[in-house]
Amino acid sequence: MTEVLLDIRGITKRFGAVTACEEVSLTLRRGEIHALIGPNGAGKSTLIGQIAGSLRPDAGSVWFDGHDVTALDTAARARAGLARTFQISSLAMEMTVLQNAVLGALGARGRVMRFFRDVMRDSALRAVAREALDRVGLWDVAAHRVGDLSHGQRRQLEVAVALTQAPKAFLMDEPMAGLGAEGSARMTRFLDGLRQHAPILLVEHDMDAVFALADRVSVLVYGRVIATGAPDAIRRDARVREAYLGDEALP
């Protein structure tokens, strides 16, 4: 088993005259949180899109778990174990927490059932759903409507739904967005434990969270990775500080 699970090799993406990503290479290792930071417009979303499979690179390749997945679409990459969360919420608001998790488990197994009540009675699916809800701390609210959950709980449920699909790695797009101080602190603790289950490539603007969580940080500026390293080294890096216009934004 190799240490590197996700291997991005020399990815380039242009939109007309704009080069959004230029020969970007980075890796995600088992057990780690690797944060991707950079000023607005640096190319973070474009990079994540190419890793998840929603955007095709003009050059370069994406390797996941030892396979070249560059030609695979988003669904195929998800089935291979690459889970993307928080970009678009896929939760059914009128359904309960448990129903959402059971449907996640059903989707992952590619099974077709005619009646929703049969799905909800399937003990294997319920067991998978329960384990995922337990892991994110939402089993107590399994019978609640998703619409009645807090914003932070919904984010945890999105992770639980992803967990029912047995992911090998997570791509997370701004999990702290809109959570407030207390919610961010709770999410930080949660992600801290999750890395043991599956490593996380984390795009996040909340620098306190990034520097509290990341094992490694990569800094993207004008589509290029200008530095990759441990949080302390990144904090001290002169090019990184310059990219963030002085010292303000880095804790």
Ligand X SMILES: Nc1ncnc2c1ncn2[C@@H]1O[C@H](COP(=O)(O)OP(=O)(O)OP(=O)(O)O)[C@@H](O)[C@H]1O
Kindly list the residues in this chain that would bind ligand X in the complex (CB under 6 A).
Answer: 15, 18, 20, 38, 40-46
**Closer of 15 and 116 to ligand X (Cβ):** 15
Q: How many CB atoms lie within 10 A of CB 211?
A: 17
Least gap, CB of 19 to ligand X (angstroms): 8
Q: How far is the CB of 225 from ligand X (least distance, A)?
A: 12
Is the CB of residue 141 less than 8 Å from the CB of residue 153? yes
Query: Is the Cβ of residue 18 or residue 59 nearer to ligand X in the bound state?
Result: 18
- Closer residue to ligand X, CB minimum distance, 40 or 196: 40
Residue 115 to residues 91, 121, 244: CA-CA distances in angstroms?
19, 10, 54
Q: Report in angstroms how near the CB of residue 171 gets to ligand X at its nearest.
A: 13
Which residues, in sequence order, are CB contacts of 169 under 8 Å at separation 6+?
A: 5, 6, 28, 64, 81, 82, 83, 198, 199, 200, 201
Least distance between ligand X and beta carbon 35 (Å): 13
- The residue among 26 and 163 lying less far from ligand X, judged by its C-beta, is 26
Nearest-angstrom CA–CA distance, 43 and 99: 36
DSSP state of 3: S
Q: How far is the CB of 39 from ligand X (least distance, A)?
A: 7
Q: Are 24 and 11 in contact (CB under 8 A)?
A: yes
Q: Which is closer to ligand X, CB of 49 or CB of 104?
A: 49
CA 221/CA 117 separation, integer angstroms? 50
